Structure 1
Amino acid sequence: MNKEKTYEQLYSDAIPSVVSVYVTPRNVAGRARSGAGSGFVYDREGHIVTNHHVVSGSDEVELRFSEGDWRTGRVVGRDVDTDLAVVRVTDLPEYANPLPMTANEPKPGQRVAALGNPMGLDGTITTGIVSGTNRSLPTGNGFAIPDTVQTDAAINPGNSGGPLVTLDGEVVGVNRARQGDNIGFAISAAIAERVVPDLVDDGFYRHPYLKVSTLDVSPLVAEANGLTETGGVLVVDVRLGPASGALVGCEAVRVLRGREIPIGGDVIVGVDDRPVRSHEELMRYLITETQPGEVVEVELVRNGRRTTEPVTLGERPKDSGRGGVSVAVE
């Protein structure tokens, strides 16, 4: 059994792979607006992973490596729905080795470190644990990123795009946001491993699109819909199109204890023989295991009876606003 590295060893080994990302886009008034974030080396071909919001509006960025080397990088791929982007440099410094993505699910309580450039302070490490997994993180475009990793390692402005790593130096997430004291979030390695290769090869990622909005079946939702069990997701609304023609949405509401609850729609309880207990589980399966054009077998409860319907997934529109599989507010 391998012994975990100390944080000092981890920093020494991993920091050469972490870069500071400097951006100077132009706004509509023609004034320069500078920004800074972080990134890390993905492969020896010079691809750097960062956040989409770090490089948004720019085709080129300046990168500073741990030993002071500067490179100009070209943004070769971006995906707003997972807030991931890839920058490429043609002359990667020899000491900047790729950081491996973990093949294991992070576990609450697991020790981790966030590496990056917070507040313009190059080469920073902050430490903590995995506080939770499979969180859903809104992006502001009507969709949410599933499977995000919650940590109490400090993630501050400028950490965005840097790696959240185990003590073995494996990336468990791409740092994205802080939403309170000791609450930070990172896009999981599972999502990054699904999206980044397409950003490298094609410049974009095609998201599978179920074309429904959903609501987790809580006790209140179950009672309003006459369900005997909680769990699963209620199909609230169905968009028109071939990807969702087999599913039925809600057509009425019921007021229960002062709240309006949608009623009458299908309840999704599984996809492709995998249980679906929440919106987050449904979203995670779709983004990590499926692609547009595939047929998935959706297990559902309709009018009190279990049935299975084949559904052909569409492709999520680039500018659709709210839609796809989204959480309806109870």
Structure 2
Amino acid sequence: MLEPAGEPQSGGSVDSETRGRHPAGGATGPHPARGHRPGRGGRLLALVIAAVLAVTGFLGYRGELPRWPFRDDAATAGLSGPALPPLDVDLVSRVAEPSLVNITAGIRPYGLGAAGSGIVLSAEGEVLTSHHVIKGADTVTVSDLGTGATYTATVAGYDSGTDIALLDLNGAGGLPVAHIGSSAPLHLGDDVLAIGNAGGTGSPTAVGGPITNLDSAIVARDAADLSRKSLHGMIEIAAAVAAGQSGGALVDRYGAVVGVITAASGDLRKAMGKGPNGYAVPIDTAMNVVRQIRSGTPTDAVHIGPTATLGILTSDAQPSGARIDVSIYGLPAYAAGLTDGEVITALDDRAVTSSQMLKAALNAHKPDDVVRLEVSDPDGGHRTVSVTLTVGPPN
């Protein structure tokens, strides 16, 4: 679970109301030669009553419809109606929970593990989760809440910048699938529910609250490895989101997924006497990453398939480049003779000006690819080294 390392930098749904009025008018007396016949006023009254009954009958399904399809500008059209009732936590939880999973990430050789949550996107086992839940994992195990079955998972791809990952469950089929909504119609004050594996207990926990920000920017700290990252465009909710709910679903009052839970309140916010809150990646952002992964085309941000690694830890070099802080014994860079203190300045003729640029260049590669590195040493020497990449954790 990520937690904010510092403080984060309208409208509403509208119901229509039917108002009727009785028009003036009445029936004329019967014509002596033609017998009794309703007058125009009587016919008009009958038509009005029929129309009101027809509209009332249609609106009677309002409570059973998943959502009244108002256009986005309805709030400015002068329509008004009764306030929506409070979100029904028990009912919405029962709708959403079967399409969620618990995720356990294992890290060898230390025997470490992390617990998180995920959202089932397909009956065949596509699962949406947070990248930091599976970051650095050698093994990923998934338990489906709807069926109770347990699966091993492979990482189909991820975007660490948006903290989104997509898993494929091995041998899955017939899984309950989440109803994916849209984050575009959300407004400040909308009631939502965060559901996930809080505390890693294996049982889903749901906490609700209103949306307090639709474009929050935070610096989040990963509780597992204490790394930090900036996250932007986040949905903030006034709810006590907890560790283990990362990767779980932020759902609206109809059970539709509108976000992917990412971060919980930080210690600084608590120290300032502010209430608990949580953050989620908007589902529209998350699904854009999913579509990119499904396309099979990597980008500088989105990695596809198994992670390829050089086997080094790096930092930004001065004035430019990626400095090798540690060349890990037994991995490709070490085997190729790269040593601590050297600086990588290019990969396959693509300039590398920072550690992040090196990661972006490696995003487009797969294990067993051979890359050509331009390297400088502390004494000013330069050389070119070819390195065969190997499989690494999804970092």
Which TM class, normalised by the smaller chain length? Answer: 0.5 to 0.7
Contact 1:113 1:166 in 2 (8 A): yes
Counterpart contact for 1:58–1:75, Cα < 8 Å: no
Cα displacement (A) at 1:177? 0.6
Corresponding residue of 1:146: 232
**1:69 correspondence with 2:149:** yes
Aligned-residue offset at 1:103: 5.4
**Long gaps (5+) in structure 1:** 209-239, 241-315, 322-330
Aligned position for 1:169? 255
2:169 aligned partner: 89
Residue 157 in 1 paired to residue 157 in 2?
no
Contact 1:85-1:199 within 8 A present in 2 as well:
no
Match of 2:91 among 3, 9, 33: 9
Opposite residue 319 of structure 1, the aligned amino acid is Q
* Residues in 2 aligned to 1:31 and 1:93: alpha-carbon distance in whole angstroms: 32
TM-score, with structure 1 as normaliser: 0.58
Note the 1:179-198 alignment, pairs <5 A.
Answer: 179=265, 180=269, 181-198=275-292
* SS state at 2:290 partner: helix
Q: Deviations along 1:180-223, whole A, 9 cap, x unmatched?
A: 44221001112112212112333755449xxxxxxxxxxxxxxx
Distance 1:205 1:115, change over 3 A: farther
Are the aligned partners of 1:112 and 1:153 in contact in 2 as well (CA < 8 Å)? no
Q: In structure 1, give the amino acid aligned to 2:88.
A: T
> Hey, what's the Cα distance between the residues in 2 that align with 1:318 and 1:162?
30
> Greater helix percent: which structure?
2
Identify the match of residue 135 of structure 1 among 210, 213, 216. Answer: 216
**Aligned residue-pair number:** 216
Q: Provide the identity percentage.
A: 25
Cα distance in 1 for residues equivalent to 2:191 and 2:354: 38
Q: Does 1:52 align with 2:140?
A: no
Of residues 145-154 and 94-103 in structure 1, the stretch that sits farther from structure 2 once superposed is 94-103
Letter in 1 for 2:94: S
TM-score for the superposition, normalised by structure 2? 0.49
Give the Cα–Cα distance (whole angstroms) in 1 for the partners of residues 246 and 278 of structure 2: 10
Distance (whole Å) between structure 1 residues aligned to residue 126 and residue 183 of structure 2: 20
Structure 1 residues 92, 178: CA separation in 2 closer, same or farther (over 3 Å shift)? Answer: same
Task: Please list, as runs of the form range in 1=range in 2, the aligned pairs for 1:147-296 lying within 5 A after superposition.
Answer: 147-179=233-265, 180=269, 181-202=275-296, 204-207=298-301
Per-residue CA deviations over 1:137-184 (Å, capped at 9, x if unaligned) read 335688633210000122111001111010112222110111244221
Gaps of 5+ in 2: 1-61, 68-86, 222-226, 270-274, 303-319, 321-352, 359-395
d(CA) in 1 for partners of 2:152 and 2:104? 10
Pair member with larger Rg? 2
Q: CA deviation at 1:89?
A: 1.1
| CA positional deviation for 1:38 | 0.5
2:116 paired residue number = 37
2:356 aligned with 1:319: yes
C-alpha distance after superposition, 1:76-107 (max 9, x if no partner): 11111111111111433524213313153321
Which of the two has greater strand per residue? 1
Cα distance in 1 between the residues matched to 2:243 and 2:294: 26
On the 8 A contact 1:101/1:172 being kept in 2, the answer is yes
1:129 deviates by: 1.4
Deviation at 1:53, TM superposition (A): 0.8
Q: Secondary structure at the match of 2:356?
A: coil
- Secondary structure of 1:24's counterpart equals strand
CA–CA distance in structure 1, aligned partners of residues 297 and 243 of structure 2: 26
Cα pair 1:99 1:169 within 8 Å, conserved: yes
Q: Does the aligned pair in 2 maintain the 1:38–1:160 contact within 8 Å?
A: yes
RMSD, aligned CA: 3.2
* Partner amino acid, structure 2, of 1:110: D
